[in-house]
A and B are shown apart, each in its own frame.
Chain A
Amino acid sequence: MIICITSKGPKSTDPVEERFGRSPYFLFHDTEKGDFDPVTNKFADAAGGVGPRAAQVLIDRGAKVLITGNVGGNALSVIQAAGIEVFRYRDGGSVEDAFQKYQKGLLGKMA
């Protein structure tokens, strides 16, 4: 299964970015391979329409879970239509910390 975590940097030790559409990086974690694959978000500084376009990146990469701080309305409707589960992480820690808390079931699901 592929999990996407929004991140301020390309490494799993970098802090989680709480914004979804304007997150500088998306870190894709493949639970079978165990690695974190960083993807630069080319829409991070775009003028508008970033949410749905960023969501398309997740869809194209086959993510089933998204861990981030918050997701805007348009992006959320895309993510829900694609059947991606969203978990909220707002503890200010690293991508690894967010992933570990997700595994332990400590993160709340976004409706």
Chain B
Amino acid sequence: MRVVVASGKGGTGKTLVAANLAAVVACLRDVVLVDCDVEEPNLHLFFPSEKKLLPVLADVPVFDTVRCDHCGECARTCQYGAIVVLSQKNLFFPEMCHGCGGCEIVCPQGAITMGKREVGRIEFSRPRAGLTLVSGVLNEREVAAPRVIREALRYAAGHPLVICDAPPGTACPLVETLEGADFCILVTEPTPFGLHDLSLAAGVAGVLGVPAGVVINRSIGEDEIIWRFCRSENIPVLWTIPFEKRIAELANGGKVLTDEIPEMKELFLRLFAEVRHRGEAGL
């Protein structure tokens, strides 16, 4: 089973939920936790440990300057503005390239072949018994977040239990993370911003056919706007995390709540039982 923790809006508590869920489940069985927020991965802050690194490579065109006659077909085909053709030479902007290979296909001279370039890395660690952490890291200035996410998920593929911390937003990186998952936990906060982005993220899960449930974080007991949305969309509210100073302090200190507050362990185990039930039943 693969569970994705998403939110749409950043800063709602995705990583808090993913980290604690993985920590309590790891006491019972093996779990792989994947940080898919490759532009700003931070799960390792909760689980400091020695890492092993593997590079993530992306496809990039390599130009044969002898064969190239500067016809400009490649530049006209590139949707990302990564190639500019001058009368005597070509300019290539690797950080704008998405590695689609369109330039190679259209080149009438056969002057383009695809080479490799490092765009990020995957970090592996085993921070505690039962828990494997796989973090995707996109290099600065790079745009190929989905490429790094795909690679991170590939390393976790086939494991019986995978929990993914999704990137914020609802664009390609979220789609890459969510596609094919068995269940999506949508973490939100009871604010108009939280609701707005929750509705977008719930829409993505709906389009991808991934069943979803909501966790309301930082609740002060006035969560009606979220409840109203969930009722109208027929999305279950799985749990409500109270707005408490102690929770914020522990999280900000990089502490796992379920290590420090025994009651939290019970609550996260209950959340997992609910998620597993729904994920396996496809509810």
Known: A56-B75, A77-B91. A48 touches B86 (CB 8 A): no
Known contacts A56-B75, A60-B72, A74-B96; is A48 also within 8 Å of B89 by CB? no
| A49 and B81 form a contact (CB under 8 A) | yes
A81 an interface residue at 8 Å Cβ cutoff?
Answer: yes
Interface of A is mostly: helix
Query: In the assembled complex, which residues on chain B have CB atoms less than 8 Å from the CB atom of A82?
Result: 86
Are B85 and A52 in contact, CB atoms less than 8 angstroms apart?
no
In residues 41-62 of chain A, which contact B (Cβ within 8 Å)?
43, 46, 48-53, 55-56, 59-60
Q: Which residues of B contact A53 (CB under 8 A)?
A: 75, 81, 84
A2: CB under 8 A from chain B?
no
Categorize the interface residue count of chain B.
Answer: 10 to 19
* Residue contact A49 to B82, C-beta cutoff 8 Å: yes
Q: How many residues of A contact B (CB 8 A)?
A: 17
Within 8 A of A (CB), among B54-76: 72, 75
CA distance A76 to B101 in the complex (A): 25
Q: Which residue of B lies closest to A50 (CB)?
A: B81
User: Which residues of B line the A interface, CB within 8 A?
Assistant: 72, 75, 78-86, 89, 91, 93, 96, 143
Query: 8 interchain pairs (CB within 8 A)?
Result: A52-B82, A52-B83, A53-B81, A56-B84, A59-B85, A59-B86, A78-B84, A81-B86
Enumerate the 10 nearest inter-chain pairs by beta-carbon distance, A residue then B residue, closest first. Answer: A49-B81, A53-B81, A52-B81, A49-B80, A78-B84, A52-B84, A49-B96, A56-B84, A82-B86, A78-B91
